[in-house]
Amino acid sequence: MGEFAEAVQEYLHESLSEKHPTIDWHMEYDIGGTPVDLAGEVSDHICLIELEWRRADPADNAAKIFRHLDTNTIEATQVTVLQVFTKYYDLKRGGIKSKRKNAEFVGTVAADTYEELSYTPLTFSLDPPKRGAEWPSQWQDIADATADTISDTVTSD
């Protein structure tokens, strides 16, 4: 993760911790030796959040979580997976790139397979800057909106 992605990850962590103080929020949460960008634990429920900035294969992030669920490495009776995609995965002519479609397909199939699992793809509404480029001025507003959407999803589960 680059400096910008880490800043957004920290910002979301702080925001979610404030919105949901009864949930124990973590950055780089370890599942079977594999880090997940953000995770929130409360009782027997875990919310796992993957932040997809410019990853070549975001389906891999979804698949690793579901693989660990299948092998019982995740010890929770309810698992919520949120995969947050930047606009990097949008097509210029409209729609989304097949990389995102594949990741969403993997998530949807896993959620249909495991009763204890819910999967939701979300959009972080900006194209992230490339390493060393200037950060978009509106990034915190977009992070706030994303945190609100994540919060709404966590509350409804």
Q: What are φ and ψ of residue 48, in 5° steps? A: -110, 130
pLDDT exceeds cutoff 80 at 1: no
Domain count, the chain: 1
Q: Per-residue confidence at 2, pLDDT binned at 50, 70, 90? A: confident
d(CA 9, CA 3): 10
Q: How far is CA 31 from CA 21, 35, 39, 153, in A?
A: 22, 6, 10, 22
pLDDT digits (tens, 9 = 90+) for 85-142: 999 999 999 999 999 999 999 999 999 999 999 999 999 999 888 888 899 899 999 9
The model's pTM is 0.94
CATH number at residue 72: 3.40.1350
d(CA 58, CA 3): 19
Range of the domain at 138: 3-156
CB 156 within 8 A of CB 25: no
Task: List, as one string, the DSSP characters of 126-142.
Answer: SPPPPTTSPPPTTHHHH
pLDDT digits (tens, 9 = 90+) for 46-98: 999 999 999 889 999 889 999 998 888 888 889 999 999 999 999 999 999 99
Residue type at position 28: E
Take residue 111 and report the two structure tokens written for it. Answer: 């959620």
Q: What is the mean pLDDT of residues 36-46?
A: 94
d(CA 157, CA 155): 6
